[in-house]
Structures are given as structure tokens and as C-alpha cells.
Chain A
Amino acid sequence: MNTSYLSKSALGAGVGLFIYAGLTYMLTNNGFRFDIGWFLLSISPYQWALIGIALAVSLSVLGAALGIFATGVSILGGGVKAPRIRTKNLISIIMCEAVAIYGLIMGIVISGSITSFMTTKPEELALKYRAGYKLFGAGLTVGLCNLFCGVCVGLVGSGAALADAQNSSLFVRILIIEIFASAIGLFGLIVSILQSNGANLSD
């Protein structure tokens, strides 16, 4: 109750500050200073590409971690009274781990595209910026997709472990649901590879 009040008031204060700053700029005839184009151009394409790598790996690992702890703990708990589930249910953990591996792969693929450039011609610089944005997009795509995929596989795997402990014929059926869940991580990987294709930072 108290924390939501605090966060709501912080949000309100932030929005208020933003509106105040915007109105100040606008009403003092300084609106041209709020220049998004300048801001984007002043960020180097290397920055975009490297943040893309960071997002790819870190968000994937976050998803895999959430999944693994959700499943692993249920396997432990259910395995006390039903020891037969212990080995079979490690499949769920492997599927969560695969999500982290997708992030690792994309991190390596994206970082393979990062080379230095010397040109200052605007038409070539535009291509470099495009490459930076593509690599950022690729990293964000695979990161977020794997985050949700990992969480999904983990929660389903937790249910699978507990259901298997009660009735062993349920495990294979719930595994099919997990396979569908892990497919969405694969979609993220595919789209991300397509995005990072042709992103050429070299001269």
C-alpha cells in the first residue's frame, strides 16, 4: 500500500517535471533546442550496436534464470515425496537453458559485425548509422523474446513437475506445451538474425 503510493507520487512528479521543462522551452522561444535528430546523430553507432549486444545477452539470461528457478524449485519440492520425477523433469531446465544459449549466439553474431570505420562522407555515414540501429534492434528483439520465452517455459515446467509428481502420465502432455513455449524464443532468434544481416559497419 505504501510503496504503490510512493511510486505513484514519483511518477506524477516525473511527468510534472517533464511538462514544466517542455513548456519552459516552448514559451521562451527555445523549442528548437529540443532536437531529437541531433540527439540521435550524436550517439555513435558503436554505442547502439554494443548496447544491442548487452540487451541480447542480459535479457536472455534474465529470462532463463527466471525460468530455471521457477522450475528447479518445484522439481526439488515435488521430488521429496515422488523421487521418480527427478531425472525426467530436467528436460524443462534444459529447455530454459536453451533460451540463454540463443542470447549468447546472437551476442556473438552481432559482435562479429562490429568493425571500425574512418569515413566522413555523409552518404556512407548514413549506412553506418543504419548498421548501428539494425544491430541494436536485433539485440533488443532476441533479448525480449527470450525473456518472455524463458519465463513461460519455467512456469509451465513448474506445473509439469508438480503434475508429474501426482500422476506420471501427465508429463509427456505438458512437455508438448513446453515445446510450443520454447518455439517463441526460436522466433526471436530467427528475426534477430534477419535484422542483423547486412549490417556493415566497416568501410
Chain B
Amino acid sequence: MKDDLFFNLDHGYAEGLCRGFKSGILKPADYHNLVQCETLEDLRLHLQSTDYGNFLANDASPLTVNVIDDRLREKLVQEFQHLRNISYEPLSTFLDYITYAYMIDNIVLLITGTLHQRAVGDLLPRCHPLGSFEQLGAITIADTPAQLYNAVLVDTPLANYFIDCISEHDLDELNVEIIRSTLHKAYLEDFHKFCKQLGGVTAEVMCEILAFEADRRAFMITINSFDTGLTQDERFKLYPRCGSLNPDGLQELRRTDNYEAVKDVAARYPIYRALFEGAGTSTGEKTIEDKFFEREVELNRNAFLRQFHFGIFYAYLKLKEQESRNIIWIAECIAQKHRARIDNYIPIFH
């Protein structure tokens, strides 16, 4: 009851604004128009009549897909940062938690770029703006995870996530991916604990979404690791523990070594059984990644059905990102004149 009565005191305006942003997400009619565009100029024209408006107005005439991608991301970042600026505690901490995922991606991007001898000046513009923090540029000076931690990351909010992956190995290709997975696992579990502690409707909505994220990561790590040198025990250490697969499903997943075995593990959970049954590995069918995206969109859409909780901010960000991916997919199909699979975007609203 405290949720209902006093939520609007601090967070009512932010919620109203976020729902306003959500009403600007493209509808099926908009997608119908976009899919029928012949060139990227047509795409720009059709996007002008949506909530995006004239966001591409300042770009020169031969539009490229990269430019569209940058502008979409800019708009999304602008809206999110406005919400962060007007928010009060504990919404501010919640929104900060959402940005930690992007910080992890930025760190890994910089480390990988340094391994390939790219200059810092080339890499920094490619970092996601939501995940920027002050010490970001200093990442490139480190050679080992221990150095990375002590020199750069100990003052950032990500310091706690590094406890598990400080080891004496150097930063090389495979280890960087393992570092990314370990950090993301620690982040998901921490976020899940924070949402549970917030309690109320926020905990109900967010814990369901984060449990699905954890399970999805467990499945994808398993499927993607089949032909690499990752051992079963190493793989088991990367599974986040905050999902519904914990603990039995994770033990079973540890012992699988092909796609069919993973499908059998999923068959014990009704939701995942339905997802795996709808997917296939041949070219005409949807892949399991597409089905996971669809399920994520469904969970995020359902977050808007309840009022007075923080889940809508997370859901809005994820839906907007999915929309950006959809628009880029359509733009790529148009630009490459390969329109056969242009309808394979994930619809958000029906």
C-alpha cells in the first residue's frame, strides 16, 4: 500500500513521462510503411511522421545504415538520460544499475580493441554512451585483470563484480569473453538482489524479467560453447544463478554437449519448451535467439500493464533498443536490396 500511496510523490512525473515515450514506439502500421520503402530516403521520410520526427534532418543525402544506427542510439540515450536526470532515489540507483550492463560492454570493447592494436581515439567513439564513466579511457593501459582492477576499476561501481575474475592470466581473446560473461553474471545477480530488496510490484516484475535473462544467458553460453575449448566446469561457473533453471537445470546444462541435449533440458520447463519447439536451426525457421527476443519483448510489454513500479523504465529501454534493431534490420535489407527476409523483425505491439 505504501507503494500505491507514495510512489507518485517522487516518481510520478518520471512514470508519466516514460509512458509517454512508450506511446511513441512504432506500431504495426508504421512497420508496414517502413517495409515498403524502396530507398533509405523513403525510410527517412516515413520516420519523420512518427515520434522520431526530424532526427535525420541534419545528415547529408547519401544516408548510410551506420548513420541511422548512430542517430537512433543518440535519441534513445537522450531520453534515458533525461529520465535519469529528473529521477529521485531509489529510482536513480535503479537506472544506474541498468547502465552497468553497458559499462561492462564498453570495458570489453576497449580491451579487445587494445589487443588488436587499435588506438584509444578510434575506440572511444564506438563505446555506448549510456555506459560511459570517467575512467573509461584509462582501461587501455592495463595488461592483466589484476592491473585493470587496481588501476582503473576499483573506484567504479563495477568494482564488486571483479572479485570473481581477477586471475593472473593475461588478457587475451578467450579470456576477455570469459571476463565479459563473469562480469555479466555478477551484475545480473546483484541487480536481481537489488530489485528483490526494493520489494512490491517492482520486485515481482523485475525479478521475472531478470530470471529470464539469466536463463537465456545460460542457454546461449551453452549453445555457443559447443565447438570452443570451454570445459564443462568453466561453463558452469559462467551461468547466472538468479534464474528459474537454478539449481537443477544448470547442473543438467553443464552435462550437455549438443543442441538436442539442451533442447531436452529445456523440455522440463514449459515456457522454454515452447520456445525451443518453435525454433530450428535450418534457414527457413526462426532461430532460438529470435524466440528469446520475442519472449523478452513479451515480458517487457507486460511490465506496462501495472502501475507504480520501476519495471517500466527498464522495459521501455529494452523495447526501444529492440525497435532500433528492427529499424536497422529493415534498413539493411533495403540498402542491400535483399528484401526476402525483410519481415523478420520482432513486432513489439500488436
In-complex Cβ contact of A70 among B8, B14, B18, B19 (8 A): B8
Known contacts A69-B8, A70-B8, A155-B4; decide if A77 and B13 are in contact (CB<8 Å).
Answer: yes
A161 contacts chain B at the CB level, 8 A cutoff: yes
Asked whether, in the complex, the Cβ of B5 is within 8 Å of the Cβ of A78, the reply is no
Known contacts A69-B8, A70-B8; decide if A77 and B17 are in contact (CB<8 Å).
Answer: yes
B247-265 interface with A by 8 A CB criterion: none
Residue count of chain A within 8 Å CB distance of chain B: 21
B20 contacts chain A at the CB level, 8 A cutoff: yes
A201 contacts chain B at the CB level, 8 A cutoff: no
Contacts of B307 in A (CB 8 A): 158-159, 162
Contacts of A78 in B (CB 8 A): 16, 19-20
The number of chain B residues touching the other chain, given as a range, is: 10 to 19
In-complex Cβ contact of B16 among A69, A74, A151, A155 (8 A): A74
Contacts of B12 in A (CB 8 A): 69-70, 73-74, 76-77, 158
Q: Mark A152-166, 1 if CB is under 8 A from B, else 0.
A: 000100110110011
Interface SS of A by simple majority: helix
Known contacts A76-B13, A77-B15, A159-B307; decide if A82 and B20 are in contact (CB<8 Å).
Answer: yes
Measured in the bound complex, the distance between the Cα atoms of B347 and A189 in whole Å is 52
A2-59 interface with B by 8 A CB criterion: none
Q: Mark A66-88, 1 if CB is under 8 A from B, else 0.
A: 10011001111111111000000
Query: 12 A–B contact pairs at CB < 8 A?
Result: A70-B12, A73-B8, A77-B16, A77-B18, A77-B20, A78-B19, A80-B16, A81-B17, A155-B4, A162-B16, A165-B16, A165-B23
Spell out B's residues near A (CB within 8 Å): 4-5, 8-9, 12-21, 23-24, 307
Q: A76-B12, A78-B19, A158-B12 are in contact. List 19 more A-B contacts (CB 8 A).
A: A69-B8, A73-B8, A73-B12, A73-B13, A74-B12, A77-B14, A77-B15, A77-B18, A78-B16, A80-B17, A81-B17, A81-B21, A81-B23, A159-B307, A161-B16, A162-B307, A165-B16, A165-B19, A166-B23
